[in-house]
Each structure stands twice: as structure tokens, then as C-alpha cells.
Amino acid sequence: MKALLLLLLLAFPALAQAPLHGGPIRALAVAEDGTLATGGFDQSVILWPARTILRWHEGAVAAVIALPGGGFASAGEDTRIAIWHGGPAPSRILEGHEAPIAALAAHGAVLASAGWDATVRIWPPSGDAQTYTGHNGPVIALAFLPDGTLASAGYDGTIRLWPSGHVLVETGLPFNALVALPDGTLAAGGADGAIRFLKRDPSTIAASPRSIAALAATRDGAILAAASLGGAVTIWALPEGRLLHTLEGPGLPVWSLGFSPDGQTLWTGGADRQLRRWDVATGRGIGPFAEAPEAAHPPAFRACAACHALTPGDPPMAGPTLAGVIGRRMGTLPGYRYSERLARGDVTWTRQTIADLFTRGPETVLPGTRMPEQVVSNPEELNALLDFLEANSR
């Protein structure tokens, strides 16, 4: 593996210094020419392999898609959609959502978006969007069927078709991912770990014991990949639904998937900030596109390191730097856009308050925070984390 990576770096010198996201990779898209775009919790979009970092969004980037005519679209926490056609700034900006955007889809020149405001919006090439309502809660996934019908899936456990609003399926369990296959079949991934195939003859694959977070299919619809919050990625042959490979990933949530145009390579991105590539035929990893250096820290800090730097002057990450965190009031570090709850600044970070945060959980201690939910229930691991922060964050 190391020899293969060395050959790749010699062949493509730019890869040796490829940038990393400063937080988990939440979205991934592959264009027809093989160019990749990734969106992360660090509010940036990165284009690969050119190593172009696009910093425009004012919040985590939750959705990225390749546009049929070239370029990319991105959206996320700041409720805005950016259209990129080269250059450091968007060529077009779409606004209208009243809450974070979770999904994008495109069909020809038509763009669709959906998000936490429970709306689905269809944007023509020019003019205002048509807004559709019907979901009871956040809309997390979108997919255009070959005939131009738009499908949406949400936390309310329904999949709906637009513009009719027809409820295609209702399970009562949240859906997180949708992909449309060339024959008109919809594949949907849900919180129960199942992949549902919806067409004339519905069928189900029990793909994972954990919630399905992302789906991707090859352009011919013959291969489907599914990623779970547990870190497992499975590859399936269609239409028979035969398991081909279970990828040995990092064991952390994988939130984004994309196949190369020829279907021979699968790209994955997730909580470890790595953009990884896999040989579809063998299921073997080719290696990270850009790899984070190993760091000596206690296991409980692993999740922290995905979003927080420890050294002053490090590149921006999804969360504020932990340099000087002991004794600092929350929400007071200059230059970081805090959630409304943390911006109140009514907690000072000490060993005791940090211990409380990870004992009861961020959502209990600081309701409304954007911090991922994490609890350290093992007292020894918690003490090791606190000792590490006291020693390394000053």
C-alpha cells in the first residue's frame, strides 16, 4: 500500500500537498470529467485534484452536486445555494430557504433544493423558485427520476414525488439518502439500515445495523454503494441485490459517496476528514487522497480532533481552536461564527465544565449547539481527555 501511494504521489506531485478539510466531509460530488468537489463542516468546498479551496459559505456545507452542463452547486447551514463555474466566487447565488439546506439535485438546467424548513424548492434557470410543502419535518434527500419527476425524502418517514406531492412510501422511520437509477427505480436509505428499492416490484436489502447515511450508484445503475453512520460501506450488484464488498473503513461515520465516471473507483468522505478512494472490482482501498497526520492523543480526543485544532495559527477548522480553551468563556474567540447558544458566553471552560459537557452531552448542556453529540461514559477515558486538554491547550 505504501509503495502504491508513493507511486501515485510521484505521478501526481500535487497530491503530496493536497489540502484537508478542517472538519468532517459532509458532501461529495463527481463531475463527468472526473473532477471532485467536497463540502465540509469547515464551511469550505474543495475541488480535487486541483486543490482549489472555495471559502464563501458562512456555515457547514451539507450538499454538493455536479451540474450537468459543468460546474458545481453547494449549499448548507447558511441557507444559501452557490453555483460555481470556475473562479473564487459563485457565479450565481440562490436564496429563499429559511433554515439550513440539506440536499440538492439537478436535472438538465433545473436545480432542486430541500432542507430543515420542511420545504422542497425547484429553481428554473432564471426566475424565482417554486416552493412545495407537505413533509412534516426536515427534508434530507432529493433525486430526479429520468423523466424529470423529483423525489424527496425526510425525517417524517415519507418519500414524495413533485410537483404532484404524491406520497410514494411512508414507513414512520427517517430517510437519509436517495438515488435514482436509470430504469426509474428509486433507492432509499433509512434510519433502520435498510435500502428500499421503489418501483413496480418493491424490494428491501438489510444493508447495515446502523442508519444509512449516503447512497451512490454508477452511471449505468449496475452498482450501488451504501454508507452507514457506523463507518461501514457496502457495495451491491444490481438488480439482484447481491453483496459484492464490505469496505474496511476508518470505523467512523461515512457521510458521502461518489463513483468515478467509469464506475471503477468509489470515493468516500466522512468524520475523519479523509477523502478516500476504493477499487470497486476488488473492494480494496487505494489510499486517502489526502491524509491527516497521525497525532498522539487519547482515544476520546479522536472525535474532537476532527473539528478542532490545538495549535495557534493552524488552518481554519469546523470548530474553534482549542488553544487557550481552559479559562476561556465560550463563544468569545474572535473570527469564529458561533451558534446562538454558544454566543451567549455564559460558561467558562474549565476542567469541571468540560467534564460536565461530555458526561451529559452537548445537546443537554447547551441546547441548540452545533456541536456533534458525544458522551464519554468511561471515567478513565474522560480523565485522560481532561488531562490531555489541560496539558496541550495552554
The pLDDT assigned to 209 comes to 65
Domain ranges across the chain: 2-290, 299-392
Of 108, 128, 198, give the one whose Cα is nearest residue 159: 198
- The pLDDT, as a whole number, for residue 246 is 93
- Highest mean pLDDT (candidates 64-68, 267-271, 283-287): 64-68
Q: Which three cell numbers stand for residue 308?
A: 478542532
Give, in words, the CATH class of 299-392. Answer: mainly alpha
pLDDT exceeds cutoff 80 at 67: yes
Q: What is the DSSP letter of 294?
A: P
- pTM of the prediction? 0.75
| Residue in 175, 290, 195 with CA at minimum distance from that of residue 235 | 195
pLDDT tens across 112-147, in order? 999 999 999 999 998 789 999 999 999 999 999 999
pLDDT over 70 (residue 314): no
Q: Which residues pair with 259 in a beta bridge?
A: 266
Q: Is the peptide bond before 299 cis (omega within 30 degrees of 0)?
A: no
Cβ neighbours of residue 100 closer than 8 Å, sequence gap 6 or more: 59, 60, 62, 76, 77, 78, 79, 115, 116
- Please give the average per-residue pLDDT across 93-99, as a whole number: 96
Topology classification of domain 2-290: Methylamine Dehydrogenase; Chain H (2.130.10)
Which residue would you say has higher pLDDT here, 391 or 210? 391
For residue 98, what are the CA distances in angstroms to 25, 127, 343, 369?
24, 18, 21, 18
What is the reported pLDDT for 196?
94
Sign of the torsion angle spanned by Cα atoms 220, 280, 66, 140: positive
| CB count in 10 Å sphere of residue 17 | 9
> Residues 167, 168, 172, 174: what is their CA dihedral angle, to the nearest 10 degrees?
-100
What's the average model confidence in pLDDT over 312-330?
Answer: 78
pLDDT for res 9: 30
Over residues 274-278, mean pLDDT: 89
Edge-to-edge strand order for the sheet containing 242-247?
212-217, 223-228, 233-237, 242-247
Per-range mean pLDDT, top range of 17-31, 128-142, 274-288, 312-326: 128-142
Of the listed ranges 235-249, 325-339, 366-380, the one predicted with least confidence: 366-380
- Rounded CA separation 236/216 (Å): 11
Determine what percent of the chain is predicted with pLDDT higher than 70: 86
Largest CA distance in the chain: 62
**pLDDT in the model for residue 245:** 95
pLDDT band at 3 (very low <50, low <70, confident <90, very high): very low
Of 162, 104, 106, nearest to 134 by C-alpha is 162
Are the folds of 2-290 and 299-392 the same? Answer: no
Report the percent of the chain where pLDDT is more than 90. Answer: 53
Rounded to whole angstroms, the Cα distance separating 339 from 131 reads 27
Q: What is the pLDDT, as a whole number, of residue 12?
A: 32
What is the rounded average pLDDT for all residues in the chain? 85
**Residue at 216: amino acid letter:** A
Q: Which of 26-30, 200-204, 251-255, 335-339 has the lowest mean pLDDT?
A: 200-204
Cell numbers at 229, concatenated: 453512520
pLDDT in tens, 175-233: 999 999 999 999 999 999 999 999 855 566 666 666 899 999 999 999 999 998 888 89
What integer pLDDT is reported at residue 371 of this predicted model?
A: 74
Whole-number pLDDT of residue 7: 34
